[in-house]
Structure 1
């Protein structure tokens, strides 16, 4: 049971006014991976730099990949750079893992899957774990969910020795998602302007 998988399940199950953008989710999942690496002592943060510890293995394939991909050369990688690099295509990787482990199905009509069919995790230990963590209002999961738009209630304070590191990670995820939203908006403006040129008499 990992924070990224819990986040994915929550985004699939929680009603929202808008669908979660894949890019936003990928950035949040990369942040969730970093949270778990911090919790396992696999990394520490010095300012905004990710300092790897001794490689130990995370008992999870995707987290093992994350740990293996850490920049182990000083001055090390910033949290922001990690999110953009590690986050590329990460939502698809986690959805494929959820499906392969039998924890994901589609509510669909007939025999064929449609792209519009809503994905819903089946009842499983992973789903129950995510649901319990979500109901408890655990600050990290709530904070990540808020960033991708499926949670708008106040997030509780982080506690423990790594509270400052968690705040740094969540802030970086929020900044990256905001930046990505700006890129999408600019692209839409440019596409609309291009369409208007061709439609002009």
Structure 2
């Protein structure tokens, strides 16, 4: 399974509350890390350089590879995250449902209780597996999921993955700043209409 699919499965756990925008940015970062690992892309400074086009077994990863900018000056990592990440969490949910890896379940005993998604094969997505993968744990941490790992556990040993995770962190922070600014503007606008 790809890093992005693993991250999506981890994030959908009811114990975690992850914003769709944050998750979409992290999924785009996970795809990029997998593309780098597959030899399809490389990182040069803050740019993504296509490095080849090996056959990828995963459809969504193939779409990500096809979306790489193949002409210089190559795309910045941050720009890739925003472009590729648009509604990516919804894309992953639909793809995993279509592939039969996710199913809709109802909570509670009533047939009209709230719906939620869960993996079809829970044993294939053990909750502790993601804690053992430093890249997956780092991306999960970026979106607010605590891996419960100690500081002296294995860190990211790949420079390109470290760069991508750092850029994902910056993008998620920027998205939160935009949310806060909009919330403040909305509250100020509401106060204008209420009057003194």
Q: TM-score, normalised by structure 2?
A: 0.89
Q: Which residue of 2 aligns with 1:179?
A: 174
CA distance in 1, matches of 2:137, 2:21: 19
Q: Which residue of 1 aligns with 2:140?
A: 145
User: Residues 40-60 of structure 1: CA distance to partner in whole angstroms, max 9, x if unpaired?
Assistant: 010111111111022223111
In structure 2, stretches of 5+ residues that fail to align are none
User: Residues 150-188 of structure 1: CA distance to partner in whole angstroms, max 9, x if unpaired?
Assistant: 1254463123xxx11011000000000000000000000
CA distance in 2, matches of 1:156, 1:184: 33
CA distance in 2, matches of 1:102, 1:165: 32
Q: Give matches, 1:4-15, under 5 Å.
A: 4-13=4-13, 15=15
Distance change (3 Å), C-alpha of 1:149 and 1:81 = same
Match status 1:133 vs 2:126: no
Q: Aligned pairs, how many?
A: 191
1:96 to partner: Cα distance? 0.6
In structure 1, stretches of 5+ residues that fail to align are none
CA distance in 2, matches of 1:49, 1:14: 35
Task: Give the RMSD, CA atoms, in angstroms.
Answer: 1.9
Q: 1:66 aligns with which of 64, 67, 80?
A: 64
- Contact map agreement 1:13 1:121 (CA 8 A) in 2: no
CA distance in 2, matches of 1:130, 1:178: 29
Q: Give matches, 1:49-128, under 5 Å.
A: 49-108=47-106, 109=108, 110-112=110-112, 114=114, 117-123=115-121, 128=124
